[in-house]
Structure 1
Amino acid sequence: MSDSIKVEGKIERKGLGPGTWALVSNSGETYELHKAPKELQKAGLAVKIEGQIRKDVMTIAMIGPVLEVKQFELVD
């Protein structure tokens, strides 16, 4: 089961080695992006993301809930 959410925030690169892409929401919550689209792989981007929290996905980074991106838009 997964929860659908909409989050607005900034893209950040987290972790050592290969690292992982994350969304830090405007309220301070960090979400690890699951298979982040190429368009979102740029630190500092301001975005709105609609997606699902994936409780069935385990990651090495473990920086926050895993967010699978369904759709997104860039914001100014």
Structure 2
Amino acid sequence: MSISVTGTIERKGLGPGTWALVTDDGETYELQKPPEELRKSGLKVKVKGEVKKDVMTFAMIGPVLEVNSFEQLSSD
């Protein structure tokens, strides 16, 4: 399923550690192999990608989102 969401990048320390996008609505997506430019806590972004329903992870913090493209909005 293709989606476009706006939120803030966070580093989650669960398991081996993972990068997440916490949306403005409070939903958390686990980022699958995010590009280096997205690996910055506090970064405000708009992300377009695919929700991967056939992927399981150690962190299990929310749906897995494979990033197709993103736009940086700001950083804290």
The TM-score normalised by the length of structure 1 is 0.93
Q: Percent identity?
A: 68
Counting matched residue pairs gives 74
Structure 1 runs of 4+ with >6 Å offset: none
Alignment of 1:1-76 (within 5 A): 3-16=1-14, 18-76=16-74
Q: Distance in 1 between matches of 2:45 and 2:5?
A: 8
Name structure 1 gaps, 5 residues minimum.
Answer: none
**TM-score w.r.t. length of structure 2:** 0.93
| Unpaired runs of at least 5, structure 2 | none
Partner Cα distance (2:25, 2:8) in 1: 11
| Alpha-carbon RMSD | 0.9
